[in-house]
Amino acid sequence: MSQINQIQEELRQIEGGRFQTLANQYLYRRYSLNNIIELGSQCGTDKTTTGVPDMYSVGENGHYLFAAYTTSKSDIRNKLLNDAKDCLDRSKTGINPQLIDRIILCHTYFRLSPLVLEEVRAIDPRIEIIGPETIASDLDGKYPALAHTVLGVPLGKGSFIAPDRFIERSLNDRFSTDLSKLLMHRDSEFSVIVESIEQNKAVVIQGQSGSGKTKIALDACLSFSKRHHWDLLILDSRYSSHLDDDIELILSESENIILLVDDANGNLSLEHLLGICLENKKLKIVLTCRKMHRSELTAKIGSYLNFREIELEPLAAENIEAILETEYNIKNIALRERVSAIANGNLRLAIMAASPIADGNFEAIQEPYDLLNIYMNSALAGYSSREQRLAENLAIYDCCDLIEGDPCYEELLGLGYDDAEIRDFASRLNDQEIVTILTSADGVLAIRMEEQNLRDFLICRHFAKEGNGSFADFILHTAEMPNAPYLKAAKSMAEVCGSASVYDYLRRECEKAWDEIKNRDARIADQFIVTFNQFLPIQALAFASNRIENADCADVSEEILGMNSTSDGSMPLQISVSLMNSSEYSQTASELFVKCVERGTERAAEYNWACGPDGAFAYDLDRTGFDLENSKLDALAQKYQQSHSRNVAACLIVLTSSYLSSRAQRVCQNGITYTYNTLTFNFTSELAELHAHCFRALSVLVETEFSRQVKSTFRQHFSFYGKEPEAEYAENMYSVLSRIEELFPKYITEDSTIDLLCSLSINQIYETCAQNPPLSLDGFRQSAFDALGLENSESLVEKEPRISAEELPLERLTEALGKLAEDYEISDKEWESGRAIGKVLLEIAKRTPDTASSIIARNIASSPSTIPVPYEALDHLAETIGRKVLRNELGAVIDVSDHPALFDYLDLLAIKNGPDKEELDEILARLDDGRTHLCLEDLEIVEPKHPGYILKYASWLSEHIHNDGVWRFFGNCGDEKRVSALDSYFESNPSPAVNLYFLALEGYPTFDYNLAFLRCLLRLDSSMIDRFLEYVANLDYRQRHDLLRRISSFWTVQDDHAWNLLKAMIDEALSEPLGRLEIAVLFPVHDANALSSDIFWERLEYTIRERIADANSLDRISWALSDCNDETRIRAITLILTLDKDGISINHLDLRRSSMSGSPEKGFIPAKLKEIEAIDSIAAQLPAGVAYLKHREWLSKVKSSIERDIEDEKWRLFHGRQ
């Protein structure tokens, strides 16, 4: 029975009290109510009581929502009528009916007559009637958790569980702690987490093992759920073969659900889950994970959702001690103190150990493992030593397939276990939810370890404590496996059982393994030494140094400065960055780092990682100073002074940028366990000194090729918006500036507006701090002040001086032009200086029209770059001195070929005011330079008085053009006037327009984005199809496919010329050997309107019939349509098979989606199940009769193949998609 049928059956049988409970919660969710008052229910029960209405809610406007419920099976008409009238009866409700916004009548009577519905609704338009069919549909799609809680309907196939079941499981789990206990000593963290859930779509709670992540996450989710009447679901961390199904079934359309994903790093369908959360705006998700897995988890989450991350710090020893006393009744003070101290913040470890030894001898407890050992020995008492040894091997490999070649299985066989014994024990562990087992389609049994706490203990016992196996041998044995198991095992030992003895063991074993690992494949060796570099610092530094020495040197400075992406893929950089944090090896690691930078042996993105926020700051964020950061700056600055290495300079610039941002993004914890976080440092005197140190280091680059960039960094760091800086900002910046006053002459060196603005900003910072301005402005000429004032005259910066062009005398305006032209060279000032230049030249034109043209000409000719065309000034001068005089005076000074845009505008002035023959000839003559000057729209002004000029201009242009701007001639293809112009002016001779069109495509392939010009030219020139096909054949892969995709819109264009072109391209794609790669883009697979149109299906049937005897063509057509929506795909395949009565296409058609039948974010298994539904639909729609039996038999085989794929996918998921 489907879920919705189960819900309907429950509603059919539901009694009145339970229905009221359900309806109250249902309406609360459906209408997003802020409150409800239940008059018809007895508090705390499922019993009814008299009340009118049964429920009401008061909105923010003071108006009411009334609700009445009935489970009447007879005389439903009168019951609904009476309920409606009662709600409107002031004598029964005490409420003025005018204050009621909505009246809702909920009932459980199936198949309510529309006559009754309309009769009741006729009483008042505010009445809404909700029956069991609607309620069942909403409970199934939007509120499945409510259906589970009130009606007992199962939550999908078991992958999600309710909070009470989750808590109950913790009570029965021997290897976890009781979640029903009170949350203690976490008030501040609890408030932060609840607030974060309120404000964010996703929240990640990470921390060390045993810190209480699950408990605080559960209580926070319950608090949010209760406050907002959202449903809380918990994703079972144990493997479920139905997880992908349940994600789609329960979450895809659900509303107001908060989802808790505990130990999210082990979730095998996380991408699918995150993809659903991204699409469903009414879902929130809270995830927990151990600190050591945080990096990988947040990387996945961040690619889908914005999220808030919270690190749960370990509990203080005194708080653990208090919990042991109050919650677990441990009275022995010495025991509490010892356990709390050794647990090192791991509350679960303390709880597990304290109870079993409450009355025993605890003097032998020396480290965290001892605590875990006490509890686990008790929990494992029911297993023989042989069974425990078997469990250890399952734990260290995490997964075991009982098949020849599997490393865990082979090891167990070598230890004397037989297959039957392993299967029997795995079955017992599965029943106890310690492992999960799965049998493949081939009958292979797989075992997956689920109990994480037990796994941690068994790994540490197996290797570090009882010596049941050599960790060095395990490293060598598993190093080349996907997701090498030794890495996870090492992290478990270090984080959960971390102590001096465990670290010493790991160090010794790593030393043994390294002698062989270092000679293996570079990827294997790099992964190992990067992971364990803090255990093997000397070996790591030597290995990295050797790699650098043997690598080719390169100058990668430009790539470093021009790249925003980062990568931590460099072994030498990872090791040097890591070990610079070690007091003993910091100096050596620093030298290695600088050497690696100087030689340029790594990729630019890797240097950006090492010098960016990820690697720039020291790992220990609890320190008060920035000694390591300052030493890095000194090392790079000194190396640059010695070598003048461009790589060193680039990395110094990136490093200082990271420090000046005051944001660190990576933190390293003990041993091999890492966590990542983003931290913005508070401004302190130590941070001020670091910032000052940055500018001291950068000063070595001031008189080099990097001078412009470092000066810009200086100016930007001390800039601010508005006339005055905020007091706190000014104090912070003053604390930096006062440390580097001797460097001001290095950074402020020019008589320019940018240096003037910087000086003004610095002086303003000092004045805000009640200090004397340190910088004299005497070195700046008046023109710099004037130019700055002109540029800021309409800006939001509002720094003085601030003037307009009208206020300045002519001489100062002319001098300011030079400064403005200099500023136009600076990208950050291009816009404001360009505007100011235009205003200054307009003012000059107004004041001295007779000499203005020569001033304009001199400034344009002498400018180092092409300054903007002063349109307003030219317009004014054209009116006052005449356009011909203006053109002659400008032409006498300015080379036409150097400033084509200027003379294009002069041509436009002539066209707009009526050109004479001489001017028209000059316009044509300018085409000899091979540039594009005027567009079709401009030329249309000329055409009425000079018929044929456009055709003449286009012919001349097509013969001389040799730049990529010819597309501008056509204008906007979305403008119908521009398209119709082609018809009007080129009907007699389309050749120039056709030639220009193909030249335009070469320069800007997408200028005719809707292909309107192409359709017009197809009508004008019959040879256009052949020429277009030739053009398409010469395009590269990306351009070709983009164009074909746009041409696919011709399927539904009511234009035979366009269809003939599309058909010619389809015929070519069906005939060419490589046509399969192109046929798909010629179909409008993502255009729902096109796929539902009659003309598309008429043309598709015509295409199929033409190729009905060609199995290869039918295959390509089916493949082209394989990524359409399911309705279209089913219809298309059914059409092909129906027309192909002889079965030529059998075994050739693509029945399944070409895009891999799913994706991580959409889920692979749900997609494959939809494929099965599609095949069933095709089979059902085929004509009846013997002729189609072979078609149906083939469809059945394809369906079986997909079912096998589903089983294989479950197998891959079970193994972590390895």
2-23: pLDDT as tens digits: 788 899 999 999 998 899 999 9
pLDDT band (50, 70, 90) for residue 152: confident
Same domain, 652 and 723: no
Q: What is the pLDDT of residue 776?
A: 94
Q: What is the pLDDT of residue 1150?
A: 80
Nearest to 561 by CA among 515, 518, 608: 608
Least confident segment among 827-836, 869-878, 1105-1114: 827-836
Q: Is the pLDDT of residue 866 over 50?
A: yes
This prediction's pTM:
0.76
Same domain, 937 and 997: yes
Token pair of 1115, please?
């295959």
Same domain, 658 and 602: yes
Rounded to whole angstroms, the Cα distance separating 1136 from 1195 reads 13
pLDDT band (50, 70, 90) for residue 32: confident
Long-range contacts of 31-37 (CB under 8 A, 24+ apart): 31/57, 31/65, 31/102, 33/57, 33/65, 34/59, 34/60
Q: What is the pLDDT of residue 1218?
A: 41
* Buried/exposed 314-352: b ≥16 CB within 10 Å, e otherwise: bbebebbbbbbeeebebebeebbebbbebbbbbbbbbbb
Q: What is the pLDDT of residue 662?
A: 80
* Residue pLDDT, tens place only, 252-302: 888 889 999 998 877 778 888 888 888 888 899 999 998 878 878 888 888
Q: What is the pLDDT of residue 270?
A: 84
Q: Percent of the chain beyond pLDDT 70? A: 95
Interior angle at CA 868, CA 863 and CA 873, nearest 5:
105
Q: What is the pLDDT of residue 828?
A: 82
Q: What is the pLDDT of residue 829?
A: 87
Q: Is the pLDDT of residue 1120 over 70?
A: yes
Note whether residue 136 is domain-resident.
Answer: yes
pLDDT band (50, 70, 90) for residue 669: very low
Instruction: Judge whether 973 and 979 are in contact, CB under 8 Å.
Output: yes
Q: What is the pLDDT of residue 298?
A: 85
> The domain spanning residue 168 has which CATH number?
3.40.50.300
Phi, psi of 738 (to 5 degrees): -65, -20
pLDDT band (50, 70, 90) for residue 161: confident
Note whether residue 319 is domain-resident.
Answer: no
* Residue pLDDT, tens place only, 640-658: 999 999 999 999 999 999 9
Token pair of 219, please?
């209580």
Same domain, 924 and 1028: no
Rounded to whole angstroms, the Cα distance separating 311 from 930 reads 64
Note whether residue 590 is domain-resident.
Answer: yes
Q: What is the pLDDT of residue 1108?
A: 94
Domain stops at, among 666, 681, 696? 681
Q: What is the pLDDT of residue 345?
A: 82
Same domain, 1138 and 1119: yes
Note whether residue 662 is domain-resident.
Answer: yes
Domain that holds residue 713: 688-771
pLDDT band (50, 70, 90) for residue 694: very high
Domain stops at, among 1006, 1021, 1036? 1021
> Tokens 């729902």 label which residue?
1088
Same domain, 1206 and 1061: yes
Q: Is the pLDDT of residue 778 over 80?
A: yes
pLDDT band (50, 70, 90) for residue 676: very low
More confident residue, 395 or 665: 395
> Tokens 């950050």 label which residue?
828
In the chain, the amino acid numbered 192 is: V
* Residue pLDDT, tens place only, 488-525: 999 889 888 888 899 999 999 999 999 999 999 999 99
Could you give the count of Cα atoms lying within 13 Å of 134 in the half-sphere of its Cβ? 13
Q: What is the pLDDT of residue 798?
A: 56
Q: What is the pLDDT of residue 247?
A: 81
Rounded to whole angstroms, the Cα distance separating 122 from 616 reads 72
Same domain, 286 and 187: yes
In the chain, the amino acid numbered 330 is: I
Antiparallel, parallel or unpaired: β 663-664 and 679-680: antiparallel
Q: Is the pLDDT of residue 360 over 70?
A: no
Quote the number of domains for the chain.
6
Return the top range by mean pLDDT from 63-72, 313-322, 491-500.
Answer: 63-72
Token pair of 502, please?
């465990």
DSSP state of 48: B
Q: What is the pLDDT of residue 794?
A: 57
Same domain, 81 and 135: yes
Same domain, 294 and 160: yes
Q: What is the pLDDT of residue 622?
A: 53
Q: What is the pLDDT of residue 670?
A: 38
Note whether residue 883 is domain-resident.
Answer: no
Domain stops at, among 279, 313, 347? 313
Instruction: Judge whether 2 and 14 are in contact, CB under 8 Å.
Output: no
More confident residue, 631 or 1: 631
Antiparallel, parallel or unpaired: β 399-401 and 307-312: unpaired
Rounded to whole angstroms, the Cα distance separating 1012 from 70 reads 62
Note whether residue 296 is domain-resident.
Answer: yes
> The domain spanning residue 31 has which CATH number?
3.40.91.50
* Residue pLDDT, tens place only, 192-212: 999 999 999 999 999 888 889
Q: What is the pLDDT of residue 877?
A: 94
Could you give the count of Cα atoms lying within 13 Å of 148 in the half-sphere of its Cβ? 20
Token pair of 209, please?
């093992």
Note whether residue 740 is domain-resident.
Answer: yes
Report in angstroms the alpha-carbon separations of 750 from 23, 611, 714, 746, 780: 76, 30, 14, 10, 8
Token pair of 139, please?
């409970």
Same domain, 672 and 763: no
Same domain, 1032 and 992: no
Note whether residue 545 is domain-resident.
Answer: yes
Beta bridge partners of 1100: none
Q: Is the pLDDT of residue 176 over 80?
A: no
Measured torsion, CA atoms of residues 334, 340, 341, 346, in degrees rounded to the nearest 10: 160
Return all residues near 525 (Cβ < 8 A) that are at least 6 apart: 517, 518, 519, 543
Same domain, 1003 and 1065: no
Q: What is the pLDDT of residue 674?
A: 40
Q: Is the pLDDT of residue 665 over 70?
A: no
Token pair of 35, please?
């409150």
pLDDT band (50, 70, 90) for residue 1212: confident
Give me the chain's average pLDDT, please.
Answer: 89
Number of helical (H) and strand (E) elements in the chain, helices listed first:
60, 18
More confident residue, 1147 or 158: 1147
Q: Is the pLDDT of residue 1161 over 70?
A: no
Instruction: Give the number of other Cβ atoms within 10 Å of residue 686's Cβ.
Output: 15
Return the top range by mean pLDDT from 231-235, 279-283, 743-747.
Answer: 743-747
